[in-house]
Structure 1
Amino acid sequence: MNCNLKALALRTATLLIASCASVQAQETGASFVENFDSLDMKQWFVSDGWNNGGHQNCTWSKDLVRVEGGRLILGFEERQMKDRAYACGEIQTRKRYGYGTYEARMKAASGSGFNSAFFSYIGETDKQPHDEIDFEVLGKNEGQVQVNQYIGGKGGNEKLVPVEGGADRKFNDYAFVWQKDRLRYYLNGRLVHEVTDPAKIPQHPQKIFASLWGSDTLKDWMGAFAYKGPNRMEVDRIAYTAPGEKCLFPESVTCATN
């Protein structure tokens, strides 16, 4: 191969690499802080008109998602929607996010049989493997939060972490730092769990969710469902910080970990 052909091949390879990097950058969202002064519909998608399967006793309803006093309110109430006797609220980002720091400040709902969740997820609906990273407050014991992750649809990585004062009585800060070879969970700025086994760390970019739902069937996990009237979960802030970027707000765990 002559020098001109070598130069052309090198330039083509460089352009191809740059193009692939550009596509990857477009597939994952940029850093943000959402303080819920309003609900930006360009950023967020509100789940409405379906449920996640037979285990869920409520149908997602846009009517149970609202912003009030700088907080996101996700509600749960008795209301017949399709084949479910209850309605509930969920939001999710429109974009997917990769490695970085995910944070939420929230107050969970109370009551056995309820699940107040902040998590990242991607799966079959987006024609991707099921990867997921979770914080879930199970209403049978609001003094704990469960962390967990799914890799290719395989879970079984649960760990329960005490929440001093109760996850439903005050706002708490939940965060996870997701890296290729390490996943760290934080509660109120304190490291509470670390995963270093590559087989237990998701690899696919995911959307960010906040949701409140109930179940009649998952009694062993969530407790017996006990509806005592309209319920709610409140979210004060959700944030994502891309790797290598400075912390975006004073309370962020990235201020201490970077």
Structure 2
Amino acid sequence: MPAPERIPPRRVSPQELLAKGELTVRGRISGASNAVLYCTVEYEGVSAACVYKPVAGERPLWDFPDGTLAQREVAAYELSEAMGWGLVPPTVLRDGPYGEGMCQMWIEASAKDAALLALVEGEEPEPGWKAVGLADVGEERTALLVHADDERLRRLAVLDAVINNGDRKGGHLLPAADGRLYAIDHGVTFNADDKLRTLLWGWAGEPLTEEAVEALRRLSANLADGGPLAGRLAELLTVEEIDALRRRVADLLRTGRHREPSGQWPAIPWPPV
């Protein structure tokens, strides 16, 4: 008699694991301005570490509607996926031990690829680096803040311009052991007003890469009324914010260049880490 056919186990996607798995809080991540909980999530024999940010733990902000930061984190993930760059870890909106919140796959940063930002002497960056600006380092001294001339960071600079990221700090960059770069903490995004604050100004005013232009064209088409992405974002953002998102994408395609500081808002977040 032939042996019975072995049915391979069903593969559980990261999104399904995060959305349907049993969420167990293991501890709180200190130093964050809002409640950030380190958790494990398990579903159909698959488990992983993740971050859970309950809406109930969000501190009110004067320029964002209360209780909307978790939705913006999910929207940033949706935009990153639509552009084909996978810069934001899998992120979902779900119920948890402390109510509805954002749940995001935990990324372990690799120390061997951590040199993405630096403070250096002199007024010009070394080859392989892009200048951001002079920074006060105390004792009436300044140093040049630079970031790596890295294609992963360049993609992230475009994504941040699209989502209108008001808080791109160095501590939000997570280079993984497999060579990929992830970015986290996207609660203060998608405001209808210009809020772009970032450490990734090294390409300001330079032409966009062909890859970025193609990604923006795809995104523009996906944001059209009736499209699946537009419908998904309608569950997470306001009509005004989605209209502003479309204008930002259109402006980038029209100019064909990386954003420059507007002068209407502090260009660099503080503290920068």
Same-fold status (TM-score > 0.5): no
Structure with the higher helix share, 1 or 2: 2
What TM-score do the two structures reach when normalised by structure 2? 0.24
- Relative contact order (alpha carbons < 8 A, sep ≥ 6): 1 or 2 greater? 1
What TM-score do the two structures reach when normalised by structure 1? 0.24
